[in-house]
Amino acid sequence: MGIEPKNRKIGVLGATGRMGRAAHQALMKAEGLEVVALFDLKQEENLIDDLPVSTSLEEFISAGPEVVIDFTVAKASLINLPEIAEAEIHAVVGTSGLTEEDYKSLGGVFDQSACLIVPNFAIGAVLMMKFAEMASPWFQTAEIIEFHHNNKVDAPSGTAIATAEMMASASQEWAEDPTSKETLAGTRGGVAESNIKIHSVRMEGMMAHQEVLLGTTGQSLLIRHDTTDRNAFMPGVVLAAQNIQGTGLTVGLESLLGI
């Protein structure tokens, strides 16, 4: 992609979770990156690949990471990230469930380092969101359906919310929902920006999938992305770890992809 990786020391928060483990493996193999610190309060393991798993954030920070990859939960992120910012360490955040208020709060503390919050690390998903944004001015109606595994605790997904926000910013001319009666409450889904509807599916056999449906007179457009393996997220994690810089808060991989 024309960007030379930098020699950087990396720490992983949530290291014993599924995403944390996958990120650790990918980061260890990446050019110019060295994993020096792991953190997880679950204490499932004391060592991963001969690297200690710390339950002390102070000890984790003392190991000297220059970039921290956060795959914990929203509640933990809001506790840990201000301390990461105080230590002037960059943060790449894959935690879901953070709100706009959380973004404002975190943006205020990262004044000496950067915080990159990524709703979805899959590069195909980022392109899906961009394509939906590009299509929005040409359509009058749109709905988003997101599908995830049955262990995902929050709904809708951060990707679905971010997609709706991008579409709403691209066009304010969306038709009103014609539904006058819901026989079953909630059937028409949740209401996001500009009244764009989001529907969430939680089901065994799913990983992470999203459809954006757009319609106008005489035609419809379906944009879909499927993630079938967590390794799909890893190129985006590595890209962010190699290239995060500056100060303040940014949302999404778009700036690193040049789109």
Structural domain contains residue 73:
yes
Cα separation, 222 vs 188, whole angstroms: 18
223 and 241 in a single domain? The answer is no
The domain total for the chain is 2
223 and 234 in a single domain? The answer is no
- For 129, the domain range is 123-227
202 and 179 in a single domain? The answer is yes
AA identity, residue 258:
G
Residues identified as active-site: 148, 152
Supply the angle between the helices 100-109 and 74-86 in degrees, to the nearest 10: 20
148 and 106 in a single domain? The answer is no
110 and 132 in a single domain? The answer is no
CATH number at residue 134: 3.30.360.10
| Structure tokens given for 193 | 């920006």
Quote the mean pLDDT of the chain: 92
144 and 175 in a single domain? The answer is yes
Cα separation, 30 vs 116, whole angstroms: 19
Binned at pLDDT 50, 70 and 90, residue 43 comes out as: low
Please write the tens of the pLDDT for every residue from 121-170.
999 999 999 999 999 999 999 999 999 999 888 899 989 998 999 999 99
Cα separation, 68 vs 13, whole angstroms: 7
Res. 42: pLDDT tops 50: yes
Q: For 35-49, 92-106, 170-184, 228-242, which range has the lowest pLDDT when averaged over its residues?
A: 35-49
Of 119, 112, 123, 144, whose CA–CA distance to 223 is shortest? Answer: 144
CATH number at residue 34: 3.40.50.720
109 and 235 in a single domain? The answer is yes
Reduced to 3 states, what is the DSSP secondary structure of residue 195? helix
Structural domain contains residue 49:
yes
Binned at pLDDT 50, 70 and 90, residue 6 comes out as: low
Q: Give the pLDDT confidence score for residue 79 in this predicted structure.
A: 96
67 and 164 in a single domain? The answer is no
22 and 76 in a single domain? The answer is yes
Residue 219 parent element (H or E): strand 219-227
Structural domain contains residue 3:
no
Q: Which residue has the higher pLDDT, 210 or 41?
A: 210
Cα separation, 158 vs 94, whole angstroms: 10
- Extended beta strands in the chain, E state: 8-13, 33-39, 47-48, 51-54, 67-70, 90-93, 114-117, 141-148, 190-191, 197-202, 208-216, 219-227, 248-251
Q: Give the pLDDT confidence score for residue 206 in this predicted structure.
A: 94
Reduced to 3 states, what is the DSSP secondary structure of residue 215? strand
Exposure on the CB side of residue 51, measured as CA atoms within 13 A: 20
Longest Cα separation, the chain? 61
Cα 37 to Cα 53, 60, 105, 124, 254: the distances in Å are 7, 6, 25, 29, 27
Structural domain contains residue 110:
yes
Task: Centre a 10 Å sphere on the Cβ of residue 204 and count the other Cβ atoms it contains.
Answer: 7
Structural domain contains residue 46:
yes
Q: Which residue has the higher pLDDT, 28 or 44?
A: 28
| Residue bearing tokens 């990859």 | 69
| Residue bearing tokens 């038709």 | 175
Section 59-78 average pLDDT: 96
Rg (CA), the chain: 19
Q: Give the pLDDT confidence score for residue 44 in this predicted structure.
A: 66
177 and 153 in a single domain? The answer is yes
Q: 181 φ, ψ to 5°?
A: -150, 130
Section 14-36 average pLDDT: 93
110 and 198 in a single domain? The answer is no
Is 83:110 a contact under the CB 8 Å cutoff?
no
77 and 140 in a single domain? The answer is no
Binned at pLDDT 50, 70 and 90, residue 3 comes out as: very low
